[in-house]
Amino acid sequence: MWLKAVALSVLVCAVAAYNSRRFPPGFKFGAATSSYQIEGAWNVSDKSESIWDRLTHSKPSIITNGATGDVACNSYYNWEDDINIAAELGLHFYRFSLSWPRLLPTSFIDKISAEAINYYNKLIDGLIKRGIEPVVTLYHWDLPQRIQDLGGWANPYIADWFADYARVAYRLFGDRVKIWITVNEPVVACDIAYNTGFFAPGIKSPEFGNYLCGKNMLLAHAKAWRIYDEEFRSKYHGKVGLTNQIFWHIPESDEDEELTEMVRQYMTGMYSHPIFSKDGGWPPEIERIIAENSKKQGFSRSRLPPFTKEEIDLIKGTCDYYGMNYYTSRTVRKARDGESIGSWPLQDGAVDLGAVMSVKPDWKKAASMWLWVFNREIYIKENLTRNLKKNLIANVLFQIMFYMCAKFHQDPLSRLGYLTTNIHPSNQTFAFIILVRSKVFSVPY
């Protein structure tokens, strides 16, 4: 009953936005980067090694043509050019990540790099001077190798080490940075990394690694949010949250409806339910399934580590917005008897759920091997001109928003503003949508 009411109100909102066919005033456009992808200068001044430095140097065959981020866009030196490009594109905000091993060369707070402070200060001040809002991610996958040597995200102490790092960042930059993203896409940093071993830290541990990482990352996020809330919010009035990457899953046939819902819970619920639901903790059905599988496999406890009551309370409610990155979609069906199931989520299977994912024959493949275009209802009728006025209808985004509202929001009415009152400082909550194009601007490097 309640769910139906929520669904209806969101639909009305979506239809209203559809009919007006233009972005509401206050809608912000931005571009996003991450430190390892753009900074280069991997061994400059006192920066220490990250897990991506280690992986690309030690296993060059893992990356196409043995490429590394040693130089990348060289943004450590070319930051002024980058700001000029952002200004030329008319961006309202620019999202970038801090490099933990650059800011804290020992990984811990005993040493804060003066060069790193200087670099990020120049970048933040330069953006603000051009009227571009800095949006800062604390963790976009370049963990200090020294912490990896202690177990990385599988070591529960990482939550405290990350929280210490977050406090340093808020203290140094919080006077000017008002939107913080604690961790970018736990599903990539944990699930893809440990299920495949193709992502740093290059360790394949599909039974345990992904789940240990997921739990500790949620705890790290929660501690970082609480530090902001308790020590900085009254002074700086910013927003802190995490971003999830969400594939949209649709059932291959009517019989796959229930399984598809489990897959959505497995992708989106794992990193949303603990934060946004009334009860907190892992999505209960998923927790039950993994516990049962573990028992059948002969383990004495679930491979998915449970949360204690204190941990559930620590994590619950630790978000000032819902951050979402959307790229692509998949169909879902039950695996056939004896069928081998690919690794979750990129290689199109979910072993613990007995699910196989695929694409429909008419979906087109984009530049990346995993990026299939399903969102055919996105129309961009004008190009990226300076004032960036656009008409865009994103059916898939509405579907996902609709789902999120129905699943996790206890106060659906306050969420109706997500498209129309984006990032308005007086609103309690907001969402921002980052539109992704792999080549908005071409830079020769």
Nearest to residue 147, comparing CAs of 205, 200, 207, 75?
200
Using rule CB under 6 A, residue 69 touches ligand NAG: no
Q: Which is nearer to ligand NAG, 70 or 175 (CB)?
A: 70
Nearest to residue 262, comparing CAs of 139, 362, 160, 352?
352
- In single-letter form, the type of residue at position 356 comes to V
Using rule CB under 6 A, residue 308 touches ligand NAG: no
Using rule CB under 6 A, residue 118 touches ligand NAG: no
CB of 213 to ligand NAG, least distance (A): 29
Residue with tokens 């139906």, as numbered in its chain: 4
Using rule CB under 6 A, residue 427 touches ligand NAG: yes
User: Token pair for residue 293?
Assistant: 């599988």
Single out the segment in contact with ligand NAG by CB under 6 A; choices: 128-136, 245-253, 350-358, 414-422: 414-422
Among 179, 417, 423, 432, binds ligand NAG (CB under 6 A): 417
Beta carbons of 205 and 199 less than 8 angstroms apart: no
CB of 101 to ligand NAG, least distance (A): 14
Beta carbons of 133 and 178 less than 8 angstroms apart: yes
Among 20, 43, 118, 253, binds ligand NAG (CB under 6 A): 43
Nearest to residue 360, comparing CAs of 334, 331, 333, 395?
331
Strand pairing partners for 332?
A: 251, 357
CB of 385 to ligand NAG, least distance (A): 5
Q: Which is nearer to ligand NAG, 25 or 361 (CB)?
A: 25
CB of 389 to ligand NAG, least distance (A): 10
Identify the DSSP state of 351: G
Residue nearest to ligand NAG (CB): 417
User: Token pair for residue 101?
Assistant: 């091993």
Single out the segment in contact with ligand NAG by CB under 6 A; choices: 79-87, 91-99, 107-115, 409-417: 409-417
Residues 352-391 that bind ligand NAG (CB under 6 A): 382-383, 385
Distance CA 248, CA 397 (A): 9
Single out the segment in contact with ligand NAG by CB under 6 A; choices: 81-89, 306-314, 347-355, 412-420: 412-420
Using rule CB under 6 A, residue 9 touches ligand NAG: no
Among 9, 78, 395, 421, binds ligand NAG (CB under 6 A): 421
Using rule CB under 6 A, residue 424 touches ligand NAG: yes
Q: Which is nearer to ligand NAG, 426 or 442 (CB)?
A: 426
Beta carbons of 136 and 180 less than 8 angstroms apart: yes
Nearest to residue 100, comparing CAs of 155, 166, 159?
166
Distance CA 301, CA 291 (A): 7
Relative orientation angle of helices 257-267 and 284-296, to the nearest 10 degrees? 100
Using rule CB under 6 A, residue 144 touches ligand NAG: no
- Buried/exposed 228-249: b ≥16 CB within 10 Å, e otherwise: beeebbeebebbbbbbbbbbbb
Among 3, 5, 18, 70, binds ligand NAG (CB under 6 A): 70
Using rule CB under 6 A, residue 414 touches ligand NAG: yes
Residues 124-143 that bind ligand NAG (CB under 6 A): none
CB of 109 to ligand NAG, least distance (A): 25
3-state secondary structure of 355: strand
Q: Which is nearer to ligand NAG, 297 or 383 (CB)?
A: 383
CB of 294 to ligand NAG, least distance (A): 43
Distance CA 139, CA 181 (A): 8
Q: Which is nearer to ligand NAG, 40 or 134 (CB)?
A: 40
CB of 231 to ligand NAG, least distance (A): 27
Report the half-sphere exposure of 330 (CA within 13 A, side-chain side): 24
CB of 406 to ligand NAG, least distance (A): 17
Q: Which is nearer to ligand NAG, 45 or 325 (CB)?
A: 45
**In the chain, what's the furthest Cα-to-Cα distance?**
61
Q: Which is nearer to ligand NAG, 371 or 384 (CB)?
A: 384
Residues 281-300 that bind ligand NAG (CB under 6 A): none
Binding-site size, ligand NAG (CB under 6 A) = 12
> Is the backbone of residue 65 left (phi > 0), alpha (psi -120 to 50) or beta?
left
CB of 431 to ligand NAG, least distance (A): 11
Nearest to residue 256, comparing CAs of 364, 334, 314?
334
Q: How far is CA 86 from the centre of its chain?
A: 22
Beta carbons of 242 and 323 less than 8 angstroms apart: yes
Question: Which parts of this chain interact with ligand NAG (CB under 6 A)?
Answer: 43, 70, 382-383, 385, 414, 416-417, 421, 424, 426-427
